[in-house]
Every structure is written in structure tokens, then in C-alpha cells.
Structure 1
Amino acid sequence: MALSDQDIEALKGISTATITTILLKKGLRNIWMRGAKPLLPGQPRIAGPAFTLRFVPAREDLATPASWASPISTRAAIEDMPPGCVVVADAMGVTDAGIFGDILCARMVKRGVAALVTDGVMRDVDGVVGTGLPVWCNGYAAPPSVAGLTFVAWQQPVGCGGVAVFPDDMIVVDQDGAVIVPKDMVEILLTEGPEQEQVEAWIMSEVEKGVPLPGLYPMNEETKQRYKNS
């Protein structure tokens, strides 16, 4: 079942650090995508359903500029992207071929894409920044995608930054990177996330008052009671 706009807004209020902590307690250790770093500082926290793209190693007969006009192409995939999705591109960690540039990113903006996340790199960086599309990636490179990758599919399970991502998993991105929230665990985050954020804000206020960490972080029973009474 699709999440409501209110649920997605609520997820935007939960940091990726909090998400990883809560899901770690539930047994999920591998939800943070390695190499997916904010292209610019200060990008907003964004949440949305994953729209997946899959690249494989370049093969000379397939990875050609002519392939960009194929029915199986990044261009065709972009026309399937729904508003509000977070595009997750599995580029196998390749860092010497930029998977997207300014023209494709500009089209994603027109499609209403919320953000792009990849373990690969971008090209035409000045132009990409100019489109306003928030991007999390592993850097930038001048060569085009076909110099190192072959695009093969969209909306399939992928591995991005060492993390299994399925279409419609929820993605949350902020300055600490990109995490996935499995669809059946979103409700747990919506229940526990805001409370943990509130607790940690209170702990920070105590630290600023000069309270020592032992018994405060993590809280012992006395501190828990003090928090409840605050």
C-alpha cells in the first residue's frame, strides 16, 4: 500500500542517523548506501519511494552512444519515473563514467523526481547543480556512462552502495547519506522515530547544561524518569 503524503512528510522529520539506529535494533545492519554522498552541502532531507535503475559493466557492442535511443535506455526509464520518487541508480561503484548529466537531470526535475541517489558519479556537474535536482553520488567524471557501464533495466531489485534496494522501498537522504526503509518497517519508523529524535534533543540540551555523559547517554533509570518529568 502506498504511503500517504502525511507519512512521507513524517519520514522527512527523521534523520538517517536515527533511522539506522532504530533499524539496527530491529536487526537490519546494512541499509546505508556506501558512496552516496550529497553533491552539495545543505541539501534538504528528502523521503520518497525508490525508483531503481540498473547498470552492468560496459560491453562494447551494447555500451555505445547509439544505445541512448534504445527502448531500454536511461531516457526511456526517465519517462516512467513518477512524481515524488527517489531514483536509485546501481552503477556498481564505477567512478570513471558519469551516469547522468544536466539534460537528463533537467528532465527528471520536469517529471517531479524528488532526488537522485547513486553509488556512481555524475557529469556536467555545473549544469546538474543548475537544474536544482538534489543528488547523492560518489563524485563526478567527464566521460559518459557508456565509457564504463551498460544500462539494462529499471524497476528491478538492485544493489546500490552494497545495499539491496527494491522498487518502492522508502528512501531517506540527508547530509549523512542515503538509507533504505523496507516497506513493511515504515510504520515502526513512524512510531519510534519522532520519539527518539525528541529524546536525543533533550539529551543534547542536558549536555549543553554541562551534565556528564555517564547515565545520560544512554539514559539510566534515574535519567529516564527525569526526562519523563521534564
Structure 2
Amino acid sequence: MPLDKAIADALHAATTATLTTVLLKKGVRRSWMRGPKAWYNAGDRVVGEAFTLRFVPMREDLATPESWASPTSTRAAIEAMPEGAICVADAMGVEDAGIFGDILCARMRRKNVKALVTDGTVRDGAGVHGTGLPIWCSGVAAPASVAGLTFVGWEQPIGCGGVAIFPGDVIVADGDGAVVIPKAMVEEVAVAAVEQERLEAWIMREVERGVPLPGLYPPNAETRARYEADTTRG
């Protein structure tokens, strides 16, 4: 089932900073991925379900150019990606082997994949930028993936940037990086994020008019009562 539009819209309106705070309050401490940065065509926030790819360390008998034609290849994985998904690739933080280049990114863009998020690198940087595919990665490197990695499958649980990601979890990525929301928590996180954004916007207005921080942020009972009264008045 595709992600509910109302939930997607609510998450799209929330920053990743807000989402990490909401998740922290719900007991999820690791949600922000180390490594992926807004690199190519990543000026807008993206929201979508995770389609996972998994690499392991390079092994000489398997990580060969011939493996690109294998049924278990990044090419086959791309063909399995549904429209609207966000491809999340566990590249183990390897930075000297680009997992995708311009042709593969162009195909993902043509299939309406929303974005690529990886703790690894891409190659063919100028061409990748030209595809228009939004990419969060750790950088760019000329060598191909098989120079340092072996691709082993897709739609499996992975670890990307120190975070556990399961197929169908929801990814939100913006200028501050990429965050994963566990699938079972998506609706409650979206509702809480809307309220958190509303509260923080009100707090910012209070700061701008000179209110000191103690008791304001985080709000004590008196501050929260003022906030609720203001919100009720509209």
C-alpha cells in the first residue's frame, strides 16, 4: 500500500530536526543516518517508503564487472523499485567505490523513484546531477562499486549510517540529512510532528518578542497554558 497522502503531507511539512525530537520522545534514539548528506538535486524535502539495497565487503570472485549482468545485481534491483519509493543503500560507509553512476540514476529517475539515500558514494558526478534524481550520499568517487563492495540483495533489513532500516519504513530527507521512521510508528509520529512544529513556531514568536528561555523552551506548565490559550484563540 502506498503511503497515505495525509501522513506524507504532514511529514513533508516537518523538518528532520523536528522528527528526530519526536522520535526521541517516543524512545527511538537512532533515527538520523550518519553519512548521507544533501548532495545532488536535494534542495527539497522528500518523503517516501524505503526500498533497501545491501552491499557487503568486496570479494574478488564475486565483485567483478561480469556481476553487473547477474540476476542479483543493482540493475535488477532498480527494475524492482516501485514508483514513489526512496532507495536506501547500505554501502557500509565505503567512500572509494561509487555505488551508482549516471545511467543507473537516470533509470531510477525514469521509474519515478523519489531519491537515493546512501552512506556511500556515487560516481559520474556531473552526469548524476544532470539526471535530476535527488541524492543524499557521503560524496563522489570515480571507481565503480565492485572496486570496494559486493552487492548481495534488496528488500532486506539493512544498516545505513548506523541506523537499522527495514523495507517499508518511511524516510524523510532534507538539508539536515536523512531520518528513518519505523513503519509501525509513522502515523503517530506524523501527528506529533505537526503539533511539535506548531509549538516551536509559537515559541519562536515568543523568543522574538523577548521572552527568556527558562520555562519557555522546553515549556513549563504556565507556558503551555499560554500556548494552548493562544492556539484556541487562533
TM-score for both structures, normalised by structure 1? 0.96
Partner of 2:22: 22
Q: Which position in structure 2 is the counterpart of 1:117?
A: 117
The 1-side partners of 2:193 and 2:199 are apart by 10
Please state how far the C-alpha of 1:40 moved relative to its aligned partner. 4.2
Higher mean C-alpha displacement, 136-145 vs 214-223: 214-223
In 2: Cα distance, 1:41 partner to 1:17 partner: 20
The DSSP-based 3-state class of the residue aligned with 2:49 is strand
Local SS of the residue matching 1:28: coil
Aligned pair 1:213/2:221, yes or no? no
Moved more, 107-116 or 40-49: 40-49
Q: 1:40 to 1:73 in 2, by over 3 A?
A: closer
Residue 83 and residue 42 in structure 1: after superposition, are their counterparts in 2 closer, same or farther (change >3 A)? closer
Structure 2 unaligned spans of 5+:
none
Deviation at 1:5, TM superposition (A): 2.4
Q: What's 1:141 paired with?
A: 141
Distance 1:51 1:42 in 2: 18
Pairing 1:58–2:71 present = no
Matches within 5 A, 1:1-230: 2-40=2-40, 43-230=43-230
Alignment length (residue pairs): 230
CA deviations 1:131-173 (Å, max 9, x no partner) are 1111111111111101000111001111101111100011111
Q: Deviations over 1:32-66 (max 9, x none)?
A: 11101110486211110000000011111111111
Which residue type is aligned with residue 188 of structure 1?
E
In the TM superposition, what is the alpha-carbon distance from 1:211 to its structure 2 partner? 1.6
Report the AA paired with residue 204 of structure 1. M
1:209-228: per-residue Cα shift (whole Å, max 9, x none)?
A: 22211111111222112212
Distance 1:140 1:164 in 2: 24
Contact 1:41–1:175 (CA<8 Å) still a contact in 2?
A: no
1:164-198 CA distances to partner (integer Å, 9 max, x unpaired)? 11000111111111111111101111221101001
Residue 39 of structure 1: SS of its match in structure 2?
A: strand
SS of equivalent to 1:43: coil
Give the C-alpha shift of residue 25 in structure 1: 1.1
Residue-by-residue CA offset, 1:97-145 (whole Å, 9 max, x unaligned): 0101111000000011001000001111111111111111111111110
Inter-partner Cα distance in structure 1 for 2:151 and 2:5: 31
For 1:180, give the aligned amino acid. V
Among all aligned residue pairs of Structure 1 and Structure 2, give the percentage whose two residues are the same amino acid.
66
2-side partners of 1:215 and 1:5: how far apart?
36
Contact 1:50–1:171 (CA under 8 A) maintained in structure 2: yes
Structure 1: 5+ residue stretches without partners: none
Cα deviation 1:66-122 (Å, max 9, x = unaligned): 111111100010000000000000000000001011110000000110010000011
- TM-score normalized with structure 2 length: 0.95
When the two chains are superposed, the root-mean-square deviation of aligned CA atoms in Å is 1.2
* CA distance in 2: counterparts of 1:203 and 1:64, whole angstroms: 56
Partner SS state of residue 152, structure 2: strand
Tell me if structure 2 keeps the 8 A contact 1:50–1:166: yes
